[in-house]
Structure 1
Amino acid sequence: MTDSSESRPDTPLVLGRRHVLIGGAMLAASGLALARMPSAQAAPIAKDRFDSWVPDIVGPWSFASVSGVVLPPPDALSDRLYDNIIARVYEAAELPAIMLMIAYNNIQDGVLQVHRPEICYPVGGYELSPTRQYELSLGNRALPANVFTASGPNRIEQILYWTRLGDAFPRTWIEQRLAVARANVAGRIPDGVLVRLSLLGNDPGGAMPLLERFTRSFLDASPPPLRRILIG
């Protein structure tokens, strides 16, 4: 009489049709997920190469120094946010000096996204006016931008800036996050740039025409690779 508790010899595993279908579906899903993983749209740019694209002469303005420009706070996060940061002051006879900052990174995902100037200035002790939407006139197109006034202990600064993420020009954090999400759904990780221009003075209305004039002259003086980064 055979004891039912005795171990039986191993038998070959037979896969039923249901197991085959489930395994095939899981494999297909894994392949689809891998195929749809977002990929970077732009390659990193070496610092020396990026710097060489930035013009020294911009209309009547000339590159004068790198001091005096408010920069993102020097923390680990900002170091990861930007591959390339340009900070310059341009001067011209009988015209206000223009301060320029360009911050670029070839990857903008859901974790790393460009700082907005409304974060940087308060860290430096500035009080800010409400941010206003602004249409930056570039001749044949209007670029979505923002403007605000930053008042510090020793100076008042009028700021104009825009951000580009892939093909989008978001004006708010929410628009910025949506731009990244839409690009990711389309299988892309967009590059991103923050362009900020400013001058000293307490007249916002008088500052904007000068900042627009500088912007148009800067784009005209920039090589095509830099123009593509700045305005797409």
Structure 2
Amino acid sequence: MNSRRTALVVMAAMLGSAALADWARPTIKVSDSFKNFKLDAVFPKSFGDWRVDENLPVIVPPPDQQAQLDKIYNQTLARTYVNREGARVMLSVAYGGDQSDGLTVHVPDVCYVSQGFRMGETRDATLQVSGDIVIPVRHLMMTMGPRLEVVTYWVLMGDEATTSNTQRKWVSIRYGLKRQIPEGMLIRVSSINPEMDKAIPLHKDFINQLMLAMPENQRDRVIGRVSVKKDDSRS
């Protein structure tokens, strides 16, 4: 009798735990509040001293890689911009409305290496934009044969710009406690340059002018609203 009663208690506890886990599972997609969100509309083709270089073709990923990207992201954008001095910067943006996994698969640290690049120097820094707003960024030196490409990127997870998987997991947990599924965006700026110290100021100028050209509500969707403080980096 006691064993039967114990078994019933255990079964009830298991069913209760399963029901609680099912109830607590995030179901509210933040992206549903922004159904008309389009990367083409958010990122202008011309701003400040920069214009899209129409003479350069857009580089399309291989079909197998594109298929994998389509599973993770809802929208992607790839452009090359040029300024009056002839300096070129490549912009790549990927947006996903359901990013409970933290956008860990295709950060440049991983996807460049998977394409045959070798990762050299890396730097984590903060970049000041639009007054006293700063965003955490990661700089990478990627090489493949004679090609030396400096990359600057950040990942927007929910309302916070991040550079590490740990940060993204914490943001995901923070949203999950409210039963929300955060949206995410990977923003990558890069240029062909053998010297990181020369490429970073160019990237900073590009990003600053881009953010200044965006309406505040759109800018928040790209750099987040969490980090607002003085810039104390050299980037």
Whole-angstrom CA distance in 1 between matches of 2:161 and 2:43: 21
Q: Which residue of 2 aligns with 1:12?
A: none
Residues 93-138 of structure 1: CA distance to partner in whole angstroms, max 9, x if unpaired?
Answer: 2141010011111110138655210112123321111422011111
Q: Which residue of 1 aligns with 2:152?
A: 160
Distance 1:114 1:191, change over 3 A: farther
Q: Does residue 109 of the first structure (1) align with residue 107 of the second (2)?
A: no
Runs (4+) of structure 1 exceeding 6 A deviation are 21-31, 44-48
Q: Secondary structure at the match of 2:95?
A: strand
Residues 15-34 of structure 1: CA distance to partner in whole angstroms, max 9, x if unpaired?
Answer: xxxxxx99998998677555
Code of the residue aligned with 2:171 in structure 1: it is A
Q: Does residue 38 of the first structure (1) align with residue 26 of the second (2)?
A: yes
Code of the residue aligned with 1:133 in structure 2: it is D
Distance 1:175 1:69, change over 3 A: farther
After TM superposition, the score normalised by the length of structure 2 is: 0.76
Whole-angstrom CA distance in 2 between matches of 1:144 and 1:62: 25
Q: Does residue 146 of the first structure (1) align with residue 134 of the second (2)?
A: no
1:62 pairs with 32, 51, 65, which one? 51
Residues 125-184 of structure 1: CA distance to partner in whole angstroms, max 9, x if unpaired?
Answer: 211114220111113122111001111224211111001111333322233233223322
1:194 pairs with 159, 171, 186, which one? 186
Q: Which residue of 2 aligns with 1:52?
A: 41
Distance 1:87 1:205, change over 3 A: same
Residues 163-213 of structure 1: CA distance to partner in whole angstroms, max 9, x if unpaired?
Answer: 111133332223323322332233211110110001111111111111111
Query: Which protein has the larger Cα radius of gyration, Structure 1 or Structure 2?
Result: 1
Where structure 2 has 5 or more consecutive residues not aligned to the other structure, the ranges are: 1-8, 225-235
1:83 pairs with 65, 74, 84, which one? 74
Whole-angstrom CA distance in 2 between matches of 1:175 and 1:101: 22
Whole-angstrom CA distance in 2 between matches of 1:74 and 1:44: 29
Where structure 1 has 5 or more consecutive residues not aligned to the other structure, the ranges are: 1-20
Maintained 8 Å contact 2:159/2:221: no
Distance 1:124 1:23, change over 3 A: closer
Q: Does residue 94 of the first structure (1) align with residue 85 of the second (2)?
A: yes
After TM superposition, the score normalised by the length of structure 1 is: 0.77
Distance 1:100 1:51, change over 3 A: same
Code of the residue aligned with 2:57 in structure 1: it is S
Whole-angstrom CA distance in 1 between matches of 2:138 and 2:87: 20
Whole-angstrom CA distance in 2 between matches of 1:26 and 1:121: 45
Q: Which residue of 2 aligns with 1:16?
A: none
Query: Mean alpha-carbon deviation: is it higher for 218-227 or for 156-165?
Result: 218-227
Code of the residue aligned with 2:69 in structure 1: it is S
Q: Which residue of 1 aligns with 2:229?
A: none
Maintained 8 Å contact 1:58/1:214: no
**Following TM superposition, by how much is the alpha carbon of 1:70 offset from its aligned partner in structure 2, in angstroms?**
8.0
Whole-angstrom CA distance in 2 between matches of 1:179 and 1:168: 8
Q: Alpha carbon RMSD of aligned pairs, Å?
A: 3.2
% same residue: 27
